[in-house]
């Protein structure tokens, strides 16, 4: 079995109004050095497979078809074997 940890980020060309709004909060906190706040998603799950290659294939399909929308998001992931 593998533990997958996926990070989904908005593509750099896509505006992130949420990140901008949150960054305003940072200013109000007095944190004046914060820039370029971008908000993404972190998703983790198990893949019931003994074969790393097969697990990777499945994670890619999950990400491409459902977890991320390739028009506006990029994803990256790690796979850790769980004994």
Q: Please give the residues from 57 up to 76 whose contact with another protein meets the rule CB under 8 A.
A: 66-67, 69, 71-72
Single out the segment in contact with another protein by CB under 8 A; choices: 10-18, 29-37, 56-64, 74-82: 10-18
Distance CA 21, CA 16 (A): 9
Strands (E), the chain: 2-10, 41-47, 73-81
Beta bridge partners of 76: 7
Interaction of residue 28 with another protein, rule CB under 8 A? no
Residue from 21, 27, 31, 34 in contact with another protein (CB under 8 A): 21
Interaction of residue 12 with another protein, rule CB under 8 A? no
Distance CA 31, CA 49 (A): 45
Note whether 67 and 75 are within 8 A (CB).
yes
Q: How far is the CB of 1 from another protein (least distance, A)?
A: 23
Question: Which positions lie near another protein, rule CB under 8 A?
Answer: 14-15, 17-18, 21, 66-67, 69, 71-72
């Amino acid at each position: 079995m593998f533990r997958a940890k996926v990070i989904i980020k908005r593509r750099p060309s896509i505006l992130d109004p949420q990140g901008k709004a949150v960054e305003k909060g940072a200013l109000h906190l007095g944190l004046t050095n914060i820039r370029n706040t971008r908000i993404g998603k972190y998703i983790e799950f198990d893949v019931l497979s003994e074969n790393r290659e097969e697990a990777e294939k499945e994670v890619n399909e999950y990400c491409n078809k459902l977890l991320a929308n390739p028009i506006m998001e990029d994803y990256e992931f790690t796979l850790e074997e769980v004994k």
